[in-house]
Amino acid sequence: MEAFEKLKKLVAEVEDDMMKAEGGNKAAGTRVRQAMQDIKGAAQEVREKILEIRNAGDAN
């Protein structure tokens, strides 16, 4: 599923900045917060796709 792959990619990309933010890097913290918003949107997209799949199965 493309939406899930996008979600996994976003999480992997933010890992380095997360480590920097934990070390006190404020700019990295800002990037992490923005990435979390993107991840939230991607997770919602996955939820919607799963519902579509479930509902398509109920129609049969």
Per-residue pLDDT tens digits for 9-20: 999 999 999 999
Domain boundaries defined on the chain: 2-59
The contacts of residue 29 (CB under 8 Å, 6+ apart) are 17, 21
Mean pLDDT across the stretch 28-46?
A: 97
Tell me the pTM.
Answer: 0.84
CB atoms within 10 A of CB 7: 20
Helix (H) or strand (E) segment spanning residue 43: helix 26-59
